[in-house]
Homo-oligomer: A and B are copies of this chain.
């Protein structure tokens, strides 16, 4: 057992456990204390096999069930913003990480501690560095170093989704659309070619864009194509010879990354388009038995996930996955983030039902 780990009390309610977790500061790249605490709390539980990978902790039941599910949550938060320690105010818990996503982590720990004989084998994953570059992402690292630990029939990522199921996720692609020109002094502008003026057509096409809204497994996704940055200019008296429009394409999970890139290239046909970043979407996968049973257990309501989340990492491993966790995703990364106690309790209750009946 690691030294100096803040003790976690897994006999407390998930709500109290949320407060305990929030009060262990764990900004990305600073997750050692919280990972130590999680590992120390889980290791004494005889029905679990616990392993540690960096600051990622994995705990598995091994009951030989016909099905295995993965339930995952990240331990890190975005940087402090004068919003610690946790503060309970009636039915809400306020503070850094309450919504994104220590409420979900608390539910995971409660289930791990109190459901010794689930009807489905469970792999609990509490991982590091979700909020930063994917090279540090614990789920990503684990999928490379120990993919067998993530194997399963279905995965639940406890990202905030208002305690409802948000299935799959949209992909995201970033491109630089570049126009070029020729510099000249702005007092003799007719001798140059203005690259910023040349970007007018790029923006005009974006204005004319009509979003596709495909229905997949009964869920309506909603694509989006947007300039997120624009930059150009050399000096106040120089006709600029380059302008770059950075465009973000959010695409439904029925397109691959390559298809998304091809779409954007064709959309900006005639312009210099360079892909700078890309992440695939995730299909909802609601036709799988484990997924169907889960959706039934939580009441049958499913919405599409528009934002990109780590569910796509499970999809890449061939495992259908959904987002399902306490908290409003619109509050993630906001100073005033909070999580409703009712969300925590509902998630715990519904997951317990699904794992025990």
Q: Which residues of A contact B (CB under 8 A)?
A: 170, 172, 174, 185-190, 194, 196-197, 199-200, 203-204, 206-207, 211, 222, 224, 226-240, 243, 245-246, 248, 250, 277, 306-308, 330
Select A235's contact among B188, B190, B228, beta carbons within 8 Å.
B228
Q: Which residues of B contact A250 (CB under 8 A)?
A: 186-187, 189
Q: List 28 A-B residue pairs with CB atoms under 8 Å apart, sorted by A's residue number.
A: A172-B186, A172-B237, A185-B307, A186-B228, A186-B248, A186-B250, A187-B308, A189-B226, A194-B227, A196-B229, A196-B230, A197-B203, A197-B227, A199-B230, A200-B200, A200-B206, A203-B203, A227-B232, A227-B240, A228-B234, A228-B235, A228-B238, A229-B232, A229-B233, A231-B231, A231-B233, A236-B277, A237-B248
Select A174's contact among B174, B189, B211, B236, beta carbons within 8 Å.
B236
Task: Give Cα A233–Cα B170 distance, bound, in whole angstroms.
Answer: 22
Closest 7 CB pairs of A and B: A229-B233, A200-B203, A187-B307, A189-B224, A196-B227, A187-B306, A230-B232
Q: Which residues of B contact A211 (CB under 8 A)?
A: 190
A226 shortest CB reach to chain B, Å: 5
Task: Give Cα A170–Cα B188 distance, bound, in whole angstroms.
Answer: 11
A236 touches B226 (CB 8 A): no
A158 shortest CB reach to chain B, Å: 18
Give the nearest-CB partner of A333 in chain B: B185
Task: Give Cα A228–Cα B187 distance, bound, in whole angstroms.
Answer: 12
A330 shortest CB reach to chain B, Å: 8
Of listed A186, A231, A233, A234, residue having the most chain B CB within 10 A: A186
Select A196's contact among B190, B194, B245, B307, beta carbons within 8 Å.
B245
B233 touches A188 (CB 8 A): no
Select A233's contact among B207, B230, B243, beta carbons within 8 Å.
B230
A12 shortest CB reach to chain B, Å: 33
A232 shortest CB reach to chain B, Å: 5
A134 shortest CB reach to chain B, Å: 13
A97 shortest CB reach to chain B, Å: 19
Q: Which residues of B contact A190 (CB under 8 A)?
A: 211, 222, 224
Q: Which residues of B contact A229 (CB under 8 A)?
A: 196, 232-233, 236, 240
Q: Which residues of B contact A196 (CB under 8 A)?
A: 203, 206, 226-230, 245
Q: Which residues of B contact A197 (CB under 8 A)?
A: 203, 206-207, 226-227
Of listed A174, A194, A235, A246, residue having the most chain B CB within 10 A: A194
Q: Which residues of B contact A207 (CB under 8 A)?
A: 197, 200
